[in-house]
């Protein structure tokens, strides 16, 4: 589906409440579709589901404002950690740079990591154009009213929605003017301030202005972070027409730590061996959304502009130059559609929607080899521009007859990715990708509050600029220093079959699904020859791997007691496997050899074979993920809650052949306690309550500081230490906002 507005908010949330995974979502979602009709009909907020109407043939989880705020999330990965099937890992060594995994696909801030989960803000695609990465620390988490999570195939949502999609819906003003203020502080120098004012004028114009500041020193050495952002929106939404304006500014500076040699991980997990690494990001985005009654249907449009700047520094091994990179992205995007509904007969209703969306982006990338630690200077190794653009018409229809809703839809994506080498203008190339993604689905009401669904669909992602720029077997890239004018890779495509159920009453929510996904042309890095350097650089190139597969099931349950106590339990099994043979790059593949200058032998205690075979497991995809929690209300004012997450064993990156030990499984528990009175709320949050020590990420690298000489070791990223945080919230003016009420 085009990432645009809701046609039927009430119908979607009546369905998605059945798949809610959190404390009191059922009650809050009921509130959503009990709002006045003008709010429902006039909504221009986007949905993350695959169809319009109430018969949604997929798992759609909705997190309300209270769920988002429960643990004072820094970034999106904190907010979705309770959703069934989602897990996180951390290869940059910062809580602001966590990766999200869904069904063996990733959404990540790491440039160069394959991106298989799409992220939207009010229906606007937030994946950056050069590598489809997501900068979670630039998303306005302090101004989010709800989060919509689609688990699985997003055929109609465009690029990258292979393993799912996440849509963040921002807050807008309701009722008399009101101001909200939040202050918090805690462990490791954490301090945060957030404020917003909002309201709705007698003439029906809603407005919202908010901002926040956040800083912390970090629990690992030299891993501080500082962020600030501002968000404004305003508009007038009526029954037959409406318009809304939106602006976002965000700035983030984060120092990262990376993984540690296993010998250091065990004794000093707070160490940082790359203490100069940092990411300095800046972003501005403006958008206009509107709709108008045209004939018997409704036309709607979104236009947006985003400007993004990123500066990154990576400290390499002592013998190698460091890396400094700077990139600029400018994107102009648009979406337009027309939706129409009618009764074809007494028992057959049709909802029809068609439109087009697209974007035009300009990407500029400069990469320098930084030799200042050797007394040298920075030398420009790559200077690339890419004026890429994409366009995608789509059409979808829902036929409802009796208890059944049949859904059919299709989307055609055309993506053009030129590569302009400014250091060698004769070496320009163009990658063009065309993909037709159909989807079929059915949802059947089988009893009061109960339904079953099934779907089949295709989805895809086009190779990123960086992947295409390093894809020539005859001209490998000394990553991360150089990109080249290489032949384009093939797009990654996935075909998914899924079936499931959902059941919802006033106090119970149950849902589950089973899925089977065949993937073609997954993109991996492969080594060039057998003479790999013993330092930080990699001679390699990206390739398409013929076949991989994801199969699994997800179960979710939640119960809300009459006294407002609540419990939830989720369970997911994911089996992500290779289905064809290939050789995948790994530092572990280096043979023991002598360094000609230092006369040091690189010691490799691991099997050096990383040739994968059908059935081998993809790395960093846990078999089992279990999540559960409860909230207990004590009288009118007090509450306590606890949550726990179990993450199963998983193979390390670099062990695609599955020949070394897996990462240990682990359990993390969090707790919270709070008091609410009048316009005040004071709460305390503890994460990693029992101070568990665990590895959240693993790979292989050379430990140049090993007493025995340069040695290939497992490099592990430690999970966060126990952290405390005290939060104070208050509001002024207007009535106190009811928990979880969504103004849409």
The enclosing domain of 216 has a CATH number of 2.40.170.20
In angstroms, the CA 276 to CA 99 distance is: 21
742: preceding bond cis by omega (within 30 degrees): no
Confidence grade of residue 193 (pLDDT, cut at 50, 70, 90): very high
Task: Judge whether 4 lies within some domain.
Answer: no
Neighbours of 273 (CB within 10 A): 20
Task: Judge whether 711 lies within some domain.
Answer: yes
Domain, as residue range, for 337: 9-732
Residue 548 vs residue 563, higher pLDDT: 548
Task: Judge whether 738 lies within some domain.
Answer: no
Task: Judge whether 351 lies within some domain.
Answer: yes
Q: Which of 317, 338, 384 is nearest to 587 (CA)?
A: 317
In angstroms, the CA 189 to CA 84 distance is: 32
pTM above 0.95, yes or no: no
The mean pLDDT value for 612-626 works out to 96
Give residue 11's pLDDT.
Answer: 32
What distance lies between CA 374 and its chain's CA centroid? 39
Confidence grade of residue 429 (pLDDT, cut at 50, 70, 90): confident
Give residue 538's pLDDT.
Answer: 54
Sign of the dihedral through C-alpha 62, 740, 125, 91: negative
Task: Judge whether 499 lies within some domain.
Answer: yes
| Average pLDDT of the residues of the chain | 84
The mean pLDDT value for 654-670 works out to 95
Give residue 19's pLDDT.
Answer: 33
679: which DSSP letter? T
Sign of the dihedral through C-alpha 518, 521, 527, 529: positive
Q: Which of 120, 82, 108, 169 is nearest to 572 (CA)?
A: 82
The mean pLDDT value for 300-317 works out to 90
| Greatest extent of the chain over all pairs of C-alpha atoms, in Å | 85
Express each pLDDT in 227-270 by its tens digit.
Answer: 999 999 999 988 899 999 999 999 999 999 989 999 899 999 99
Express each pLDDT in 387-424 by its tens digit.
Answer: 999 999 999 999 999 999 999 999 999 999 998 888 88
Beta-carbon contacts of residue 189 (< 8 Å; ≥ 6 apart): 215, 216, 217, 224
Beta-carbon contacts of residue 665 (< 8 Å; ≥ 6 apart): 622, 624, 646, 647, 648, 649
Q: What percent of the chain has a predicted confidence (pLDDT) above 90? A: 58
Beta bridge partners of 727: 184, 683
Task: Provide the number of structural domains found in the chain.
Answer: 1
CB 460 within 8 A of CB 493: yes
The mean pLDDT value for 612-625 works out to 95
Beta bridge partners of 120: 125, 167
Asked whether the predicted pLDDT for residue 670 surpasses 90, the reply is: yes
Asked whether the predicted pLDDT for residue 742 surpasses 60, the reply is: no
- DSSP per position, 409-475: EEEEEEEEEEEEETT-TT--EEEEEEEEEEEEEEEEEEETTEEEEEEEEEEEEPPPHHHHTT--TTS
Task: Judge whether 640 lies within some domain.
Answer: yes
Task: Judge whether 90 lies within some domain.
Answer: yes
Give residue 46's pLDDT.
Answer: 35
Give residue 55's pLDDT.
Answer: 53
Express each pLDDT in 12-52 by its tens digit.
Answer: 322 332 333 333 333 333 222 222 222 222 233 333 333 33
What is the dihedral angle through the alpha carbons of 46, 51, 53, 56, rounded to the nearest 10 degrees?
-110
Task: Judge whether 744 lies within some domain.
Answer: no
Give residue 535's pLDDT.
Answer: 45
CB 129 within 8 A of CB 427: no
- DSSP per position, 161-201: TTSEEEEEEEP---SS-EEEEEEEEEGGGEEEEEEEEEEE-
Give residue 72's pLDDT.
Answer: 76
Q: HSE, CB side, 13 Å, CA atoms: give it for residue 671.
A: 7
CB 470 within 8 A of CB 542: yes
CB 164 within 8 A of CB 134: no
Confidence grade of residue 475 (pLDDT, cut at 50, 70, 90): low
Q: Sort 562 into a burial class: Cβ within 10 Å, 0-12 / 13-18 / 19+.
A: exposed
CB 558 within 8 A of CB 508: yes
Express each pLDDT in 703-731 by its tens digit.
Answer: 888 888 888 999 999 999 999 999 999 99
What is the dihedral angle through the alpha carbons of 610, 616, 620, 623, rounded to the nearest 10 degrees?
-160
């Amino acid at each position: 589906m085009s990432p645009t507005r809701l046609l039927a908010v009430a119908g979607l949330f009546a369905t998605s409440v059945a798949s809610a995974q959190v404390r009191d979502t059922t009650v809050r979602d009921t509130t959503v579709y009990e709002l006045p009709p003008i709010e429902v009909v006039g909504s221009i907020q986007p949905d993350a589901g695959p169809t319009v109407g109430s018969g949604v043939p997929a798992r759609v989880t909705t997190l309300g404002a209270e769920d988002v705020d429960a643990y004072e999330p820094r970034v999106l990965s904190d907010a979705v950690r309770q959703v069934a099937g989602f897990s996180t890992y951390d290869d940059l060594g910062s809580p602001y740079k966590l990766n999200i995994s869904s069904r063996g696909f990733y959404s990540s801030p790491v440039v160069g990591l394959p991106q298989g989960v799409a992220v939207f803000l009010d229906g606007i695609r937030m994946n950056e154009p050069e590598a489809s990465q997501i900068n979670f620390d630039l998303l306005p988490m302090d101004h989010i009213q709800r989060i919509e999570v689609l688990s699985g195939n997003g055929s109609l949502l465009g690029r990258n929605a292979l393993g799912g999609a996440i849509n963040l819906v921002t807050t807008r003003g309701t009722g008399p003017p009101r101001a909200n203020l939040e202050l918090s502080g805690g462990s490791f120098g954490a301090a945060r301030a957030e404020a917003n004012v909002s309201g709705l004028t007698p003439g029906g114009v809603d407005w919202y202005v908010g901002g926040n500041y956040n800083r912390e020193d970090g629990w690992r050495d030299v891993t501080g972070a500082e962020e600030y952002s501002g968000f404004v929106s305003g508009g007038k939404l009526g029954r037959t027409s409406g318009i809304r304006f939106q602006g976002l500014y965000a700035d983030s500076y984060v120092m990262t730590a990376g993984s540690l040699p296993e010998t250091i991980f065990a004794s000093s997990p707070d160490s940082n061996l790359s203490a100069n690494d940092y990411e300095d990001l800046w972003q501005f985005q403006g958008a206009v959304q509107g709709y108008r009654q045209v004939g018997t249907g409704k036309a709607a449009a979104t236009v947006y502009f985003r400007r993004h700047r990123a500066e990154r520094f990576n400290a390499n091994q002592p013998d190698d130059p460091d890396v400094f990179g700077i990139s600029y992205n400018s994107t102009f995007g648009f979406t337009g559609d027309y939706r129409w509904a009618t009764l074809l007969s007494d028992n057959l209703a049709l909802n029809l929607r068609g439109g087009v969306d697209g974007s035009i982006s300009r990407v500029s990338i400069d990469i320098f080899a930084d030799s200042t630690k050797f007394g040298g200077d920075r030398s420009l190794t790559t200077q690339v521009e890419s004026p890429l653009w994409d366009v995608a018409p789509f059409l979808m229809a829902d036929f409802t007859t009796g208890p059944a809703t049949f859904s059919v839809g299709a989307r055609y994506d055309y993506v053009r990715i030129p590569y302009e080498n400014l250091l060698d203008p004769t070496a320009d190339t163009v990658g063009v990708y065309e993909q037709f993604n159909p989807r079929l689905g059915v949802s059947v009401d089988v009893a009061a509050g109960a339904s079953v669904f099934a779907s089949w669909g295709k989805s895809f992602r086009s190779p990123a600029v960086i992947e295409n720029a390093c894809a020539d077997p005859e001209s490998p890239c000394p990553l991360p220093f150089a990109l080249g004018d290489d032949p384009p890779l093939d797009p990654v495509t996935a075909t998914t079959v899924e079936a499931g159920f959902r059941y919802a009453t006033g106090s119970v929510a149950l849902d589950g699904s089973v899925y089977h996904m065949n993937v073609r042309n997954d993109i991996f890095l492969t080594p060039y020859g057998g003479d790999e350097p013993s330092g930080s650089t990699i001679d390699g190139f990206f390739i398409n791997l013929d076949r991989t597969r994801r199969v699994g099931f997800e179960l979710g349950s939640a119960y809300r007691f009459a006294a407002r106590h609540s419990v939830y339990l989720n369970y997911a099994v994911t089996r992500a496997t290779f289905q064809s043979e290939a050789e995948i790059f790994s530092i572990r593949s280096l043979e023991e050899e002598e360094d000609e200058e230092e006369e040091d032998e690189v010691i490799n205690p691991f099997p050096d074979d990383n040739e994968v075979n059908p059935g081998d497991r993809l790395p960093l995809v846990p078999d089992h993920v279990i999540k559960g929690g409860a909230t207990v209300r004590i009288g009118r004012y007090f509450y306590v809650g606890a949550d726990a997450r179990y993450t199963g064993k998983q193979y390390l990156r670099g062990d695609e052949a599955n020949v070394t030990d897996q990462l240990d499984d682990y359990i993390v528990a969090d707790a919270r306690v709070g008091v609410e009175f009048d316009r005040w709320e004071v709460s305390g949050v503890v994460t990693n309550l029992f101070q568990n020590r665990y590895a959240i990420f693993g790979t292989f690298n050379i430990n140049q500081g090993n007493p025995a000489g340069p040695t290939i070791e497992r490099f592990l990223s430690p999970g966060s230490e126990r952290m405390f945080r005290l939060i104070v919230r208050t509001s002024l003016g207007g009535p106190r906002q009811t928990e979880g009420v969504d103004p849409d």
